[in-house]
Amino acid sequence: MTYKLQIIKCLFVLCLTLAGCSRDRGKPTHPDAISVCGNQLMQLPGGEQSFAFGPADRPDFDNGLVERLQNRPFRVPDFSVAIAGELSGSRSTAEVLHLLHRFNSISAGGYGPPVAGAGGWKKGRDLSGNIRDDFLRFTVSPSDGGAGLIMNRETELELENLDEEAVQMLADLLELTSVLLRISASSADNGSLTELKQSDPSYSSLETTDLLMIPFRERELYSNHHRKFFNTVDAEMIAFGSRIMIEEVNAIAGRYRTLVANGKLTLDRPLILRTRYGRIQLLTGGQDTIRLSTLISLDPGGDDHYWCNTAASDGNKIPVSISIDLEGDDVYGDGDSVTVVCSSACGLSYLLDMEGNDEYLSGAAGLAFAVAGCAVLDDRSGDDRYLCTGRYGAGSALFGQALLVDRRGNDIYSSGSYSLGYGGTGGGALLLDYEGDDKYLSSGSSFSLGASAGRWGDATDGLSMGGGVGMLLDCKGDDEYSSGWFSQGASYYFGLGILVDMTGDDCFNSITHSQGAAVHSSLALFADLAGNDEYNHVADSTRLTQSIGYGRDRSAAFFIDQSGNDRFLFGNKSFGVGDIHSLGFAVDCSGDDSYTWFKNSVYNESGSFGSAQLLDERMAIQTGSEGATDRWCAGVACDLKGKDSYLSLSDESEPVRFFRNRKSIKKIIESTLTVRHDR
């Protein structure tokens, strides 16, 4: 894999070198627009060159990783495939979260030498055996080391009836809660949040999530209060709190499972501890029905139904929310548009389900959604169903981190726009599925399945904010991907969108701006590393356009299919197209493939399969600031190996010749690639 990535990098550098050299070749109409199509790769030049993609002036809250990759765009495949390899080999959710922090250029410490991790904050607090004395310290506020525990005689009796190890586990759980509450309170300025809420009469009744999402749902704002609040969000503190939460909750879950297995924590009825921040509940091994939201919930087994907000944190109400379910076929949520599952707004949320065929039903902004916080949904096994009925779900983050990880099973993921591995402004989001034949469904929606977008406010209120990083990684299985536009490794306005499928015979279907598509100073990558795959064969072919390695307006987009006998169907402006000072790169590395170019009515005068177009006088897009790289453009399409077929269909579906098939040419000039200028 490393060798082929190096070939791809060399091809990219060669194309940009050719673009730069073409200035001295006479006076074609667009002297710096090049397009390449072919299958021979010989004696490519080495070395690295810098080709910056974004304009010199950058938007607010731009992502540091995206900025660095824009200066070396050929590293996008290297970074994406390398981090996919690390994620696929990770041993724990804590390691995965640590890798996710890289999306926001954050290190929260731990996970390997020389530092093994945190945890020193609570060690050595042994119990005396006197329940009242041991738990009285938890009744004070988090700032004083407590968790706001409401202690009464009934609570004492409940604790006195438990095994000593179970009492110690609860004490450690309260200690952890105290730490997480303190961290959550330090992750953003509460005064700025209150000021924002009071800045407009219509804001007073909004939930925190709805309040903070206003800039991303409306085109114009009439105050500076959102910008002021977002400037106070401390990404490092959120990452620090999330690391401690994941590490320690997993340790406590292991202890809890041992206690249950040894019969030391068997309950006939739920045990409830009340705090000023919500309930802490230990459920029974039967079929429990939960109707009230909790601070922390632990369930040993049974087919349970959570008819309420679950693992949903809100800095104004429940700043931390954690749910642990050891086994059983559980249902989370009731499908109501108001009820959310695993969501965070200025808080920390973690839902850990260790066994069972589960259903996760959430309204908008759920199933690992975070804004100014962190949300993690961690399912260890079973054939699961994830359904988010609105936008922003199934691994979606802004100004924080969101992680949805599923270890085993044949799963179904379904959500609306801005979901399934979506990184908005200030956000790093990951949907990670380790194995199983899965379905990712977001038809008719936008910005999903490994996507990112920023807020472009130049034509409205001027509040332009760069995108984040969104990634979908599927490690194993024969999968189905179905989406609308700006999806499957897509980005918009200073974002980075990544989709990597590592193995399996997969089906990918989308409409436009998908499968490695980047627009307006952004970056995108789509990579399928193995399997016999199909692209867009059940999609609406009359609408296919601008996909499979399509870059526009100072962007870089990559499409890589590593191996397998694949079938491609694409429309105009697709498969290696550079549009307006951009790079569009598409390569199939091996296999006996078939390519069908459906010449539909969308952009019917535009080329595909290695095409480039510079800005001309008829286009109104600004050329960028001083220092921007605006004088070159490249479209690259290559098939490196295999017996392939090429077919072009008009909108009347009559077969005609594809571009000249270089594999049928017996005599090849081995030291060059054929380059043509678009005029």
| Residues 172 and 296: beta-carbon distance below 8 Å | no
Which residues neighbour 229 within 8 Å (Cβ) at sequence distance 6 or greater?
Answer: 188, 189, 192, 193, 195, 196, 212
- What number is the average pLDDT over the span 371-376? 98
Contact 92, 76 (CB under 8 A): no
C-alpha 447/C-alpha 101 separation (Å) is: 21
Asked if 539 contacts 514 with a C-beta cutoff of 8 angstroms, the reply is no
Candidates 568, 567, 573; CA nearest to 512 is 573
Asked if the model's pLDDT at residue 44 lies above 90, the reply is no
Helix (H) or strand (E) holding 25: none
pLDDT digits (tens, 9 = 90+) for 190-244: 999 999 999 999 998 999 999 999 999 999 999 999 999 999 999 999 999 999 9
User: Is the per-residue pLDDT at 50 higher than 90?
Assistant: no
φ, ψ for residue 187 (rounded to 5)?
A: -80, -15
3-state secondary structure 549-572: CEEECCCEEEEEECCCCCEEEECE
Per-residue pLDDT, 566:
96
User: What Rg do the C-alpha atoms of the chain give, in angstroms?
Assistant: 26
Q: Which residue has the higher pLDDT, 163 or 655?
A: 163
Residues 158, 162, 168, 169, Cα dihedral to 10°: -90
The per-residue DSSP string of 426-450 comes to TEEEEEEE-SS--EEEEEEEEEESS
Looking at residue 46, what is its pLDDT? 38
- Answer whether the bond into residue 77 is a cis peptide, omega within 30°: no
Q: Is 152 exposed, middle or buried (0-12, 13-18, 19+ CB in 10 A)?
A: exposed
Judge whether 610 and 585 are in contact, CB under 8 Å. Answer: no
pLDDT over 90 (residue 131): no
CA distance 172 to 53: 50
Does the predicted model carry a pTM greater than 0.95?
Answer: no
Sequence-ordered strand ranges (E) for 469-606: 469-474, 480-487, 490-492, 496-501, 507-509, 512-514, 517-519, 523-528, 534-535, 550-552, 556-561, 567-570, 577-579, 583-588, 594-599
What gap in Å lies between CA 324 and CA 282, rounded to an integer?
10
Q: Using an 8 Å Cβ cutoff, are 49 and 17 in contact? A: yes
DSSP state of 332: E
- Angle at alpha carbon of residue 196, lines to 190 and 201, rounded to 5°: 135
Residue range 589-636, pLDDT digits in tens: 999 999 999 888 888 878 888 888 876 655 544 544 444 445 578 899
Report strand pairing: 451-453 vs 496-501.
Answer: unpaired
Residue 39 three-state SS: coil
What's the whole-number average pLDDT of the chain? Answer: 85
3-state helix, strand, coil in the chain (%, to 5): 25, 30, 50
- Has residue 3 got a pLDDT over 90? no
Domain coordinates of the chain in residue numbers? 190-232
pLDDT reading at 326 higher than 60:
yes
pLDDT at residue 145 is higher than 60: yes
pLDDT at 144 over 60: yes
Pairwise CA distance, residues 362 & 383, whole Å:
18
Burial, 281: exposed, middle or buried (Cβ in 10 Å; 0-12, 13-18, 19+)?
buried
